[in-house]
Amino acid sequence: MPPCPSKALLKPLWAKCTNWWAPGRLPPLRLLFLGRSVGIGRCWTGTARPRGKTPLADNKPASGFIIAAPTSGSGKTTIALGLAAALRNRGVKVAPAKTGPDYIDTAFLSEAAEFQAVNLDPWAMAPDQLRARAASQSLGADLLLVEGVMGLFDGAADATGSTADLAAILQLPVFLVVDVVRQSQSVAALVSGFVNWRKDIKIAGLILNNVGSARHDLLLRRALEALEIPILGSIPRDAGLAQPQRHLGLLLPDEIENFGVFVRRAAKTVSAHCDLEKIRARATPVGEGELPKSLVPLGQNIAIAKDRAFAFLYRHWLNEWQAMGATFSFFSPLANESVPESADAVFLPGGYPELHGEQLAGCTGFFTSLNMARDRGALIYGECGGFMVLGQTLADKNGNTHRMAGLLPHETRIDRPCRVLGYRRLSHDSPLPWNAKLTGHEFHYSTGSGHELPPLFQARDALGGELAPMGAISGRVMGSYAHVIDVDGGGQA
């Protein structure tokens, strides 16, 4: 596959994507393409930016806002998807973003907005990095729509990295989605508490969700009058919207039956029950930003595994790597495609290889090409699922063991309900070209064993507690369970 063009850095990154994918190179399925589920040949907007201060298109800044909620499960993802699609349907160019490290919600937002979403993580990224990436993402768009994570004030174990922290850093207004089921006047006390908890953020509007009736709506509005916060929407209970929420954040868009129908229904509901013009009017300009430092490319010509088994890749990496002159070649291990011979670096991202163990085990062409890349000195790096595939074997949840690439000596197995989850501060002294100190996160159900190689990372959790060393290095082949997010910029300021 020919590499991504590196010219015209301020043009859409995927403007010629239909030319990059040769017919017949991929199986007839929808793929999670750079964090987004797309059909083959489908092309959505997204741009790469050079380092330094981010210019504003035509000197006119995009405006932005953050969709947050008091708790998880309040419906903020559904409403964010509905807003993105509804505004897009009105001709508004919406640039979406997700608070935190989540790959899957960015895929949903990208699908709804038809614009590649990025992650803005206030725990893992320093304030200057956040401001620069928010400005970069909104370049050329009309509106930056940021979906929050968990409850508005919920963060990592060290109580930082919340949606509220991001709102304070970016100085964007917060629209609070409040699930009003089984309450009426009490909603005023809840909202008042959120409004007054922190003075460095502004809750600029409310969207009431799961409103039971016209009378329920009236009671809620009367109770909230004294707070003088605009009610931007009142969403009625809708079983058709409630049911799919059980899957949001757990499955890729591809894997949710009739996901497109769900997004269209959410957009129709939001259009009917929210004041879209008032929402746009209450958004505020996105500021400029200068990116002080970022992860350098793994190589000049980077081969990146991309299919259902290798789906988790941060968009800000690609934007910034391309701006530094790197080129990319995407290949599908599940289709038994080979690592391109021109690659001087190979990246196996995270994903769900455990769901495709048997198929991967039969992809001998892929494994052979990976060994050839190793033999010619290419740097080979695997994260989480990619790290699992670099090992000897993978045992799935049913206990079936599948042969893997064998470039590292470890063996992995799925070990539910054992779950490892959390932010990580990482340090290393390895052939990785990245800074010695990094931020990342870990989320997996598998465990690895059976090697005595040097570890790739020394790791600490969000509270600074020392963890067991992570990963393995063998020459220029390396990997770990950590998903690296960024250069460690020293936290919030």
Tens-place pLDDT, residues 44-92: 444 444 444 544 444 567 999 999 999 999 999 999 999 999 999 999 9
Paired sense of beta strands 477-480 and 379-383, if any: parallel
Give the mean model confidence (pLDDT) for residues 402-422.
89
User: Given pLDDT bands bounded at 50, 70 and 90, which one contains residue 448?
Assistant: confident
Give the mean model confidence (pLDDT) for residues 153-159.
96
User: Given pLDDT bands bounded at 50, 70 and 90, which one contains residue 247?
Assistant: low
Per mean pLDDT, which range of 27-31, 114-118, 341-345 is the poorest? 27-31
Domain boundaries, the chain: 52-285, 294-487
Residues 6+ apart with CB under 8 A from 80: 67, 96, 109, 112, 145, 147
List the structure tokens of 257.
């039956």
Q: What is the pLDDT of residues 258-274, one digit of tens each?
A: 899 999 999 999 999 99
Question: Do the domains at 52-285 and 294-487 have one common CATH topology?
Answer: yes
User: Given pLDDT bands bounded at 50, 70 and 90, which one contains residue 240?
Assistant: confident
Predicted confidence (pLDDT) at residue 21 exceeds the cutoff of 50 = no
Predicted confidence (pLDDT) at residue 330 exceeds the cutoff of 50 = yes
Q: How far apart are the first and last CA of the chain?
A: 43
Instruction: State what percent of residues in the chain have pLDDT above 90.
Output: 77
pTM of the model: 0.87
pLDDT of res. 211: 98
Domain 52-285 has CATH 3.40.50.300: yes
pLDDT of res. 252: 78
Paired sense of beta strands 143-147 and 118-120, if any: unpaired
pLDDT of res. 449: 78
Q: How many CB atoms lie within 10 A of CB 122?
A: 27
Can 4 be counted among the known catalytic residues? no
pLDDT of res. 24: 29
Average pLDDT over the chain, rounded to an integer: 87
Predicted confidence (pLDDT) at residue 422 exceeds the cutoff of 90 = yes
Report the DSSP beta bridge partners of residue 115. Answer: 45
Instruction: Out of 4, 43, 274, 384, pick the active-site residue.
Output: 384
Enter the CATH code of domain 294-487.
3.40.50.880
Among 221, 176, 171, residue whose Cα is nearest residue 195: 176
User: Given pLDDT bands bounded at 50, 70 and 90, which one contains residue 183?
Assistant: very high
Cα 123 from chain centroid (whole Å)? 14
User: Given pLDDT bands bounded at 50, 70 and 90, which one contains residue 493?
Assistant: very low
Give the mean model confidence (pLDDT) for residues 383-399.
95
Residues 6+ apart with CB under 8 A from 184: 216, 219, 220, 223
User: Given pLDDT bands bounded at 50, 70 and 90, which one contains residue 14?
Assistant: very low
3-state secondary structure the chain: CCCCCCCCCCCECCCCHHHHCCCCCCCCCCEECCCCEECCCCCCECECCCCEECCCHHHCCCEEEEEECCCCCCCHHHHHHHHHHHHHHCCCCEEEEEECCCCHHHHHHHHHHCECCEEECCCCCCHHHHHHHHHHHHCCCCEEEEECCCCCCCCCCCCCCCHHHHHHHHCCCEEEEEECCCCCCHHHHHHHHHHHHCCCCCEEEEEEEEECCHHHHHHHHHHHHHHCCCEEEEEECCHHHHHHHHCCCCCCHHHCCCHHHHHHHHHHHHHHHECHHHHHHHCEECCCCEECCCCCCCCCEEEEECECCECECCHHHHHHHHHCCCEEEEECHHHCCCCCCCCCEEEECECCHHHHHHHHHCCHHHHHHHHHHHHCCCEEEEECHHHHHHCCEEECCCCCEEECCCCCCCEEEECCCCCEEEEEEEECCCCCCCCCEEEEEEEECEEEECCCCCCCEEEECCCCCECCCECEEECCEEEECCEEEEECCCCCC
Predicted confidence (pLDDT) at residue 121 exceeds the cutoff of 80 = yes
Q: What is the pLDDT of residues 220-232, one digit of tens each?
A: 999 999 999 999 9
